[in-house]
Structure 1
Amino acid sequence: MTTSFVSRHPGAHDWAAAEGLAVDAVIDHLDPSIIAPGDVVIGSLPVNLAAEVCARGGRYLNLSLDLPASLRGVELTAQQMRDCGARVEEYRVIRCF
């Protein structure tokens, strides 16, 4: 079982480290083909990738923020993420055919 933190943002990496998230790998991009049953993926993934993680037997923990419009598109610091209520929330995502 592997826990991966997926983000290309340095502030998110800093936030995860400061929060003490126990991860095996910090990666910029997820290749869902590497997910095995029981793996955990933490990040803000597009819904189709989150669904694939779940379909492969992995757990998806979304990095959620209450982001005001004024901060959209801004590279956030760890403190700004905390100020926006950064948290990890588990979701089970399924693709409906």
Structure 2
Amino acid sequence: MSIYFVTRHPGAYDWAFAEGLQVDAVVAHLDPAIIQPGDQIIGSLPVNLAAEVCTRGGRYLHLSLDLPPDLRGEELSIEQMRTCGARIEEYRILPVNRHEGD
């Protein structure tokens, strides 16, 4: 089992390690092909990638924030992340395959 932290944001990286998060690798982009059953993927992934993590038997732990509109698109500091309630929450996301006529 491996633990990956997916981020390209220095503030998220700094926050995670200030909070004592232990990971095997920090990656800017996730290649779903590397995921093995039991792996933990931590980050803020697009829903289709989070679903692929779960489909491959991985655990998806979302880096959640209560982000006000004026901070969207900004690089956040550790203090801003804490103010925005940064936390890690596990989700199970699975795709629903729809067929024509359903």
Calculate the TM-score normalised by the size of structure 2: 0.94
SS at match of 1:30: coil
Give the corresponding residue for 2:30: 30
Tell me how many residue pairs correspond in the alignment.
97
Instruction: Spell out structure 1 runs of 4+ moving beyond 2 A.
Output: none
| RMSD (Å) for aligned C-alpha atoms | 0.4
Corresponding residue number in structure 1 for 2:94: 94
Output the amino acid matched with 1:96.
Answer: V
1:43 corresponding residue in structure 2 = 43
Alpha-carbon offset, residue 19 of structure 1: 0.5
Aligned-partner Cα distance in 2 for 1:52–1:77: 30
Tell me the amino acid that sits aligned with residue 10 of structure 1. Answer: P
1:73 Cα deviation from its structure 2 partner: 0.6
Q: Which amino acid aligns with 2:47?
A: V
The separation in 2 between residues aligned to 1:77 and 1:28, in whole angstroms, is: 18
Give, in whole Å, the separation in 1 of the partners of 2:4 and 2:79: 22
- Counting only pairs closer than 5 Å after superposition, residues 14-93 of structure 1 correspond to structure 2 as 14-93=14-93
The one-letter code of the counterpart of 2:68 is P
Q: Deviations for 1:19-43, whole angstroms, at most 9, x for unmatched residues?
A: 0011000110000010000000000
| Residue 78 of structure 1: how far off its partner (Å) | 1.1
Percent sequence identity over aligned pairs: 71
For the residue of structure 2 that corresponds to 1:90, the secondary structure is strand
State the TM-score, normalizing by the size of structure 1: 0.99
- Cα distance in 2 for partners of 1:84, 1:52 equals 28
The unaligned stretches of length 5 or more in structure 1 are none
Identify the residue that residue 6 of structure 1 maps to in structure 2.
Answer: 6
AA aligned to 1:57 is: G
